[in-house]
Structure 1
């Protein structure tokens, strides 16, 4: 064991240093090529290289390099030389390292984004959390935000795309861009590495229930053994509202006498009053007769949200019974808009019905009817129900069929 704290560091001399009985002892390298290199040894036997130098401001400071033997003596001396050169150039490596340590990781930044921005402003914030957990947590969460660069994001986007999910890849990139956009405004980041990155071209989806598919769909719904799931699909079709809104529908927002449903905040951040067609009223009235006093939601659930979560297995059962393919739950929303166009409603009416913020979003329905006229959503629902009830005599019969099985 060395008799002095000032020794010429070698692998052998460092290995020979015994830990002190308590506290910490600092040893100084006498090698002239490694000015300021130190080794701090604790009572537990930990040996850590560091550099202790007077900075340009006149005050001495210490920069930790790494632990021996994971960091070799040669590596420590090279790092010490680089730090000396950095000081000569007017930098303060200790300040740089402290700033880096204080810099948040992308995971920490995302948590801030969710708590301070998404939860207060986005009904779909839980979808952001799901995307983060599925696609961003593993590759990015532990990275400092300045280490999240365009190259790493481009690679991630490509990996998700090559896995067969080009649209999801775009959504993930958009989420990263939103996080950094918020961070810049909040003074937490200086730049948005996702800005301007090339996205995949997306083909607008125009799948909806055709006339010959509707009877099969309603027959499959009638056979669904879970009335909550069945009614959720039916009201999604009859109202044309987004899945998240229908899933979280609350009784306090339903006004049966006025045939209205008030949504306080839609996806675009605005409130909306949804007209309820008679068929939707029937379903709601029947559900209300069987609701518990404690039921807050129209579609109660047993999870922490308190309401039904998207019933993927139930949807698969319905599609299987109806012999339907390439149909998503969101396509029920598109079905109402499509049948509005087929029965003569204008794009303005369709857009207002579905809560679109701009007409461009509604242009997809223009392909379905070249000469739309202004009509109400009830006309479209009536046409859907007439198609569904063939050869049943009236839409009332089919609605009563559904209500009787609740």
Structure 2
């Protein structure tokens, strides 16, 4: 039995699943030839089913719902119907339509339908695209972008911006095409098979002799929001995106804690706030915005304050220091004052403890003091006021 109805998102989402191994087909009453097929596993796919003059019916897959919207499916169907009406093969029509698709169009679809809804770092995708990809690929048809094109771009970025930046762009391009394949917008991924650069772990952090200049330059920063943002980034070691989107409702001044519900690792994190960090935040306390660091953009909060960061570094006379190095600075100084790798990993919310191994190279002498400090803390947490309550210890003078 042919099932026909005017496709709407609500009705499509409510459609029942067919029996195991079966597939149900629905026809759109608004645009001729547009079908929706549902598998027993719940996959819903738009397609065009039309007969060519003098030939058999042809089915052209368009994309999956909800990655492809109903309006997009209808638009594609009407384009294909027009070409079929001219007596052309629908498979060739599909290839022609796709070959006319520009990379900038595909990237826009990727950002709006995949990156923004599913990635906390979508702003990084957009920033990397504008910095490294837009001029080179945006106006190219997808059919013009092959492995050689992407490999050359990767090589040029390696020369200009370094191996790590080049690898990030290669990963972004691969992600865009990979998503396009799953959405039925393209058939191959030209980034697959390109060898990535070897990466060396970055170990830059603010050194002892740089701290006086850094704090002096920071105190002279005219933009109070930028100044406080950098201070909180340094004092908490939290990731840039989390600090930028910090909300007042997530801060508990009584417990001196900041609760991050969703981090890069997809796990919640409770960040302990030092007295200095609490003071910075209390001085900023305001009811004018839900965000600690409000911004003028669509998000409502501060994005990456690159220009302010550059001003501070120029005043301080410090080179080769990035905003992310503030996070590493806290971890490095924790190591220098004796914190264990486990403590550092916990405070920075590292998933893999091996990530914190870089800090262990910096200074081993404070480790002994750290153990002594941790022992005293454990005794205090256990309700003991003096170690002698367990066993006699003789303190060295």
TM-score grouping bracket, smaller chain normalisation = 0.5 to 0.7
CA distance in 2, matches of 1:281, 1:263: 16
Is 1:159 aligned with 2:156?
A: yes
SS of 1:205's partner is coil
Q: 1:374 to 1:302 in 2, by over 3 A?
A: farther
Tell me the alpha carbon deviations over residues 102-149 of structure 1, each in whole angstroms, 9 at most, x when there is no partner: 325433332332223211221110111122233333433344545432
What residue ranges of structure 1 are gaps of 5+ in the alignment? 1-53, 60-91, 380-406
CA distance in 1, matches of 2:364, 2:132: 42
* Aligned counterpart in structure 2 of residue 223 of structure 1, from 213, 220, 233: 220
* Aligned counterpart in structure 2 of residue 101 of structure 1, from 89, 96, 100: 96
* Aligned counterpart in structure 1 of residue 289 of structure 2, from 280, 285, 295: 295
**Residue 228 of structure 1: how far off its partner (Å):** 1.6
CA distance in 1, matches of 2:346, 2:56: 68
Counterpart position of 1:265: 262
SS of 1:341's partner is helix
Counterpart position of 1:200: 197
Alpha carbons 1:237, 1:335 under 8 Å: kept: yes
Counterpart position of 1:343: 337
**Residue 93 of structure 1: how far off its partner (Å):** 6.6
* Aligned counterpart in structure 1 of residue 304 of structure 2, from 283, 304, 310: 310
Counterpart position of 2:116: 119
SS of 2:196's partner is coil
Counterpart position of 1:210: 207
Tell me the alpha carbon deviations over residues 348-376 of structure 1, each in whole angstroms, 9 at most, x when there is no partner: 22122112222232222121134747969
CA distance in 2, matches of 1:239, 1:148: 43
CA distance in 2, matches of 1:255, 1:232: 18
**Residue 251 of structure 1: how far off its partner (Å):** 1.0
**Residue 188 of structure 1: how far off its partner (Å):** 4.1
Alpha carbons 1:107, 1:141 under 8 Å: kept: yes
| Structure 1 stretch displaced more, 101-110 or 266-275 | 101-110
Alpha carbons 1:349, 1:374 under 8 Å: kept: no
CA distance in 2, matches of 1:274, 1:196: 40
Coordinate RMSD, CA, aligned = 2.9
Give 1:361-376 correspondences, 5 Å limit: 361-370=355-364, 372=367
CA distance in 1, matches of 2:56, 2:245: 62
Alpha carbons 1:224, 1:318 under 8 Å: kept: yes
CA distance in 2, matches of 1:187, 1:374: 59
Give 1:31-42 correspondences, 5 Å limit: none
Structure with greater contact order relative to length (CA < 8 Å, sep ≥ 6): 1
Give 1:277-292 correspondences, 5 Å limit: 277-288=274-285, 291=286
* Aligned counterpart in structure 2 of residue 168 of structure 1, from 149, 159, 165: 165
Counterpart position of 1:71: none
Alpha carbons 1:346, 1:374 under 8 Å: kept: no
Tell me the alpha carbon deviations over residues 40-63 of structure 1, each in whole angstroms, 9 at most, x when there is no partner: xxxxxxxxxxxxxx988489xxxx
Counterpart position of 1:234: 231
Alpha carbons 2:336, 2:364 under 8 Å: kept: no
Alpha carbons 1:346, 1:373 under 8 Å: kept: no
Q: 1:146 to 1:207 in 2, by over 3 A?
A: same
Alpha carbons 2:104, 2:138 under 8 Å: kept: yes
What TM-score, normalized to structure 2? Answer: 0.66
CA distance in 1, matches of 2:94, 2:282: 61
**Residue 187 of structure 1: how far off its partner (Å):** 4.4
**Residue 163 of structure 1: how far off its partner (Å):** 2.6
What residue ranges of structure 2 are gaps of 5+ in the alignment? 1-51, 58-86, 375-397
Q: 1:117 to 1:325 in 2, by over 3 A?
A: same
Q: 1:287 to 1:99 in 2, by over 3 A?
A: same
Counterpart position of 2:350: 356
Alpha carbons 1:122, 1:269 under 8 Å: kept: no
CA distance in 2, matches of 1:321, 1:163: 26
Is 1:251 aligned with 2:248?
A: yes
Tell me the alpha carbon deviations over residues 307-360 of structure 1, each in whole angstroms, 9 at most, x when there is no partner: 223222322332233232222221111100001111111222212211222223
CA distance in 2, matches of 1:186, 1:284: 44
Alpha carbons 1:150, 1:197 under 8 Å: kept: yes
Alpha carbons 2:244, 2:303 under 8 Å: kept: yes
The structure number with the bigger radius of gyration is 1
